Structure formats: structure tokens, C-alpha cells
Amino acid sequence: MNDKSVSFFIPGEPIAFARAGSNGKRRFTPAKQASYREAVQWAAKEPCRKAGLPFVGPVKATICFVFEHPKSYSAKRKAATTWKDTRPDLDNHIKELLDALNGLAYHDDAQIVEIFARKRYGSPSGVTITIEDLT
């Protein structure tokens, strides 16, 4: 982590991007997704303010999504399983998280030129993210 970076933790089960729903007349964002965006913004607001963000130029994002093991897993299976290789897809988790940080960590997620991300099992569930200024 360099001098121009911010890092923070977003507690709770990560939510992936979902296409907007429709009631026949208008499109809407699913409530669970909207609630997660608010949680991300709430967790990011103070660390980003203290770091003097949003960043202006190119940035790098390092993200670790952590999920609780399914309750159906035995203790032996939990011990043997590190990586979450099931749905939702990693790219949908990344999209939801980075869209939620627009205006807080950076002006627009188009500024992100490098991403390192992973999803794994562990405890507690949540997301650790570091945003670094590359200028």
C-alpha cells in the first residue's frame, strides 16, 4: 500500500450485481442490491474523506470477497475448502462494489486500470478493498 491509498472493510455477505428488474412499466434495482450499495457507501465514506478522496487519475483496486461456508458443509469439508468457485460470478461482485464507490473513492470507475480480486470462504464474511492512486 502506498501513501496515496485507502483501505477499508465492508462487513456482511457480499452481494453481486443483478440486472435491473421490471414491473412492466419501469425498471428498478432489487432491494437487496440497493441496500448493499448503501452499506458499501456507508463503510467507505469516512475512510475516503480522511484520505482526501476521490482520486482523480488512474487507480488500482485490490479486493478480497469473503463468504461464510455453507451450513451444509461438514467440518472436514470446511477445512479443505478455501476458494468459493460457485455463483455468483466474481466479475458481478466486482461490478457491484466498484459502481457503489463512484464519487467516493474515485470520480468514475472508468479510472480503474488494474484490478486484483478473489473470492474465498472464511470468517467473518465481508469485503476488504484497497484503492491505490497510480499517478
pLDDT in tens, 62-120: 999 999 999 999 999 999 999 999 999 999 999 999 999 999 999 999 999 999 999 99
Q: Is the pLDDT of residue 126 over 80?
A: yes
Superfamily of domain 5-133: Holliday junction resolvase RusA (3.30.1330.70)
Element housing 28 (H / E): strand 27-28
Task: Write phi, then psi, for 61 (nearest 5 degrees).
Answer: -115, 130
Average per-residue pLDDT in the chain?
94
Q: Per the structure block, which three cell numbers stand in for 104?
A: 467516493
Would you list the domain boundaries of the chain? 5-133
What global pTM score does this model have?
0.91
DSSP for 63-76, written as a single string: EEEEEPPPTTS-HH
Place of cell 472508468: 110
